Chains A and B, each alone.
Chain A
């Protein structure tokens, strides 16, 4: 019988090795992972798994994959978009004529399009017209193609409020949702890698708000350090970076400082 305290100890090792904090709600999945590994004979006991996690990068990644299922959708981690909508964009729009946002590792486009929708809503509410540029990149050509196409299934739009859905999407004959042209043209998609120096320089270094979420957890320490450093270089001093809720830049980049917002944690570049 696998105990809560086994899951807790495993979560502790994961935190030590990867900096990813698995919450209590993840314990069930940790236990299932352990059960599978015992059933397949890869490990014998919880203790055995803990020892192996200390040395095996692969086992650690397998566990993280099992616990953090890769999925994306519009308005994912909504409280971060609330901060952009209520705190950051109103301030930026008061201060400057153009704002640059960046979705680093944008997958199939839900994240940068959500940025664009939020920016549109804030401009309308404030009654201002600003130049909003949104850059989005991914290493997968398939993902970029799908993002450019801008057609999504119900699952992707399940957290989009009704009035936004009817305003910025049109329903296709086969029951899917196509993003509107006005949103589409705000986003510039590029096939680039967040660990490649040349690629990252091409993004340009005047980013006000960047997101890089639920990607770094799949990287080893060295790639994570490299990606975070390159992303930070593209941020303006005073610009913000949002990571996934279970990710952190702890001890990786010196000029990134934690900023607490209501419902969200971000990093800001200080020099």
Chain B
């Protein structure tokens, strides 16, 4: 089965493409060669996206007390160019699940991804990590699940069933059925999309942060944000038995034992509300 997955991953024509506007915005901002007008023009290529960006700029998370923003350039200013990339990715990425069979619970999948992204964004500041990178990394950490499901829906349903019945981690069930898990598949697709190596690494090692090479802190942050989102009740599959968080490798790498769990965990409850709102905005444009 592993070979079948790998050969699918090599067949470029079958791979999902990364949303074009998000890709272009990311390149523009990365190369540092852009004007506000360029950004605006790029976003307006996709009117649905433009409308969602306005809503995001007016949401509680980004504009809690200010007056209403009605133009794209004002929206970009309000969100900040630094935040624009993760937000554009966030708002356009839900398209990736469009072609999946109705049985795939896309709603739950994206709510978990968004919650992880929001939690990671909040915690990033506390550990001097980039909150924009943290947001994107959180959003994409489980993208491998989506790709596996896209290729082999029946088998993935089987993996979900096995995991639930036998109390296995998603990675354990996937490896049993596919001989490969969503972290490896996720890394592959993220590299194919030519996203930054940081995203490839967070996607690859969010279940075992101790193996991260270049960005151990960011990987550990995504691990912890994943666990927190799950504990807050937003999860795609149950995935783990109890985890004593202070013994977790991700926790140790991230905090070096200098934090109290409850201090980090408490505000996460608010993030969950923001995230679910944001997910619904991205999802339904509502």
Q: Report if A and B associate in a common complex.
A: yes
The interface-forming segment of A21-29, A183-191, A213-221 is: A21-29
What residues of chain B lie closer than 8 Å to A263, measured between beta carbons?
A: 230-233, 235
Q: How far is the CB of B134 from chain A (nearest CB, A)?
A: 19
User: Once the chains bind, are B270 and A23 in contact (CB under 8 Å)?
Assistant: yes
Given that A248-B262, A248-B266, A262-B235 are known contacts, is A25 also in contact with B273, CB under 8 Å in the complex? yes
**With A and B bound together, what is the CA distance between A87 and B262 in angstroms?**
22
Q: Does A42 contact B (CB under 8 A)?
A: no
Q: How far is the CB of B265 from chain A (nearest CB, A)?
A: 7
User: Once the chains bind, are A258 and B241 in contact (CB under 8 Å)?
Assistant: no
User: Once the chains bind, are A258 and B246 in contact (CB under 8 Å)?
Assistant: yes
What residues of chain A lie closer than 8 Å to B263, measured between beta carbons?
A: 250
Question: Which A residues have a C-beta under 8 Å from some C-beta of B?
Answer: 3-5, 15, 19, 21, 23-25, 79, 83, 86-87, 90-91, 240, 248, 250-251, 257-266, 268, 270
Q: How many residues of B contact A (CB 8 A)?
A: 30
What residues of chain A lie closer than 8 Å to B233, measured between beta carbons?
A: 79, 262-264
**With A and B bound together, what is the CA distance between A141 and B151 in angstroms?**
62
Q: How far is the CB of B121 from chain A (nearest CB, A)?
A: 17
Q: List 11 A-B contacts (CB under 8 A).
A: A3-B65, A23-B269, A83-B242, A257-B247, A260-B230, A260-B243, A262-B230, A262-B231, A262-B238, A263-B235, A264-B233
* B 92-140 contacts with A by CB, 8 A: none
What residues of chain B lie closer than 8 Å to A86, measured between beta carbons?
A: 167, 238
What residues of chain A lie closer than 8 Å to B247, measured between beta carbons?
A: 257
**With A and B bound together, what is the CA distance between A159 and B42 in angstroms?**
49
User: Once the chains bind, are A268 and B244 in contact (CB under 8 Å)?
Assistant: yes
User: Once the chains bind, are A259 and B243 in contact (CB under 8 Å)?
Assistant: yes
What residues of chain A lie closer than 8 Å to B245, measured between beta carbons?
A: 257-260
Nearest first, the 10 A-B pairs at minimum CB distance are A250-B262, A260-B231, A259-B242, A263-B233, A21-B266, A262-B238, A258-B261, A248-B262, A260-B243, A23-B269
User: Once the chains bind, are B243 and A4 in contact (CB under 8 Å)?
Assistant: no
Pick the residue among B238, B244, B269 that contacts A258 (CB under 8 A): B244
With A23-B273, A240-B242, A259-B244 known, 17 other A-B pairs at CB within 8 A are A4-B65, A21-B266, A24-B273, A83-B242, A250-B260, A257-B246, A258-B244, A258-B245, A258-B262, A258-B265, A260-B240, A260-B242, A260-B245, A261-B240, A262-B230, A262-B233, A263-B231
Given that A79-B233, A263-B235, A264-B231 are known contacts, is A87 also in contact with B269, CB under 8 Å in the complex? no
Q: How far is the CB of B222 from chain A (nearest CB, A)?
A: 15
**With A and B bound together, what is the CA distance between A19 and B265 in angstroms?**
12
Q: Does B47 contact A (CB under 8 A)?
A: no
What residues of chain B lie closer than 8 Å to A258, measured between beta carbons?
A: 244-246, 261-262, 265
Question: Which B residues have a C-beta under 8 Å from some C-beta of A?
Answer: 64-65, 167, 227-228, 230-233, 235, 238-247, 260-263, 265-267, 269-270, 273
Q: How far is the CB of B241 from chain A (nearest CB, A)?
A: 5
Given that A86-B238, A260-B231, A262-B231 are known contacts, is A5 also in contact with B65, CB under 8 Å in the complex? yes
User: Once the chains bind, are B241 and A261 in contact (CB under 8 Å)?
Assistant: yes
**With A and B bound together, what is the CA distance between A35 and B255 in angstroms?**
41
What residues of chain A lie closer than 8 Å to B231, measured between beta carbons?
A: 260-265
What residues of chain A lie closer than 8 Å to B228, measured between beta carbons?
A: 260
Chain B: which residue is nearest A79 at the CB level?
A: B233
Chain A: which residue is nearest B241 at the CB level?
A: A87
What residues of chain A lie closer than 8 Å to B242, measured between beta carbons?
A: 83, 87, 240, 259-261, 266, 268
Chain B: which residue is nearest A251 at the CB level?
A: B260
Pick the residue among A3, A4, A259, A262 that contacts B239 (CB under 8 A): A262
**With A and B bound together, what is the CA distance between A21 and B270 in angstroms?**
10
What residues of chain A lie closer than 8 Å to B167, measured between beta carbons?
A: 86-87, 90
What residues of chain B lie closer than 8 Å to A21, measured between beta carbons?
A: 266-267, 269
Q: How far is the CB of B162 from chain A (nearest CB, A)?
A: 15
Q: How far is the CB of B118 from chain A (nearest CB, A)?
A: 13
Chain B: which residue is nearest A15 at the CB level?
A: B266
Chain A: which residue is nearest B240 at the CB level?
A: A262
**With A and B bound together, what is the CA distance between A261 and B235 in angstroms?**
11
What residues of chain A lie closer than 8 Å to B265, measured between beta carbons?
A: 258, 265
